[in-house]
Amino acid sequence: MVSMRNASGVPDPAIARRMDAMDADNTAWLLRAVGPGTWFTTKRIGRDGMDAAFLLLQHVDSSVQVQLLPTIQRSYAAGEVSGKEFALLSDRVATSFGRPQTYGTQADIKDGRLVFFPIEDSVGVDARRANMGMMPLREVATILDSMYVRKPAQ
């Protein structure tokens, strides 16, 4: 994976510009590929295609995510989109507009520590996650912590 930051930890503007251009191209393609109020189906593009399309959706502009969220919710109800996929998009939309997330899928690293964005009704988050086929938040936190959080030098 290419780092977006240079040796001093500052985001590299050239890489950021290339990523922005790629995201714009992917957004345009995605909007052409799905019609208004529609999403892909496994029958049409297969599971790998669904995974790729959803990955693109996670990185498009938040206005497009808001536009497609009701469609993704219908696709989830129809069994074409997983609970995890719906939860990820739902939380991404909520947090991008400054609202608390429902499923606890959005976090950041602040000062070397994993910090989840605010969660609505955090006491009930694991029950909601279980309903979506997702592991408990504490297990996810342990995995993310081991992958991304800086450990102090020994």
Residue-wise pLDDT for 63-122, tens only, equals: 899 999 999 999 999 998 999 999 999 999 999 999 999 999 999 888 878 899 999 999
User: How open is the CA angle 121-148-26, to the nearest 5 degrees?
Assistant: 80
What is the structure's pLDDT at 112? 79
What is d(CA 136, CA 127) in angstroms, rounded to the nearest whole number?
Answer: 8
Question: How far lies 20's CA from each of 26, 62, 97, in Å?
Answer: 10, 14, 20
35/33 Cα distance (integer angstroms): 7
> For the segment 18-58, what is each residue's pLDDT rounded down to a tens digit?
988 988 898 899 888 987 888 998 889 998 999 999 999 98
Rg (CA), the chain: 17
Give the pLDDT band (50/70/90) at residue 129: very high
| Paired sense of beta strands 107-110 and 113-116, if any | antiparallel
129 vs 5, 62, 88, 98, 108, CA distance in Å? 33, 23, 11, 21, 19
Check: CB of residue 127 under 8 Å from CB of residue 101.
Answer: no
Average pLDDT of span 119-142: 95
**What is the pLDDT, as a whole number, of residue 77?**
94
Domain ranges, ordered by start, for the chain: 9-81, 99-154
Which pLDDT band holds residue 1 (cuts at 50, 70, 90)?
very low
H/E element, 146: helix 137-148
Calpha distance 107→10 (Å, rounded)? 20
Q: What is the pLDDT of residue 151?
A: 61
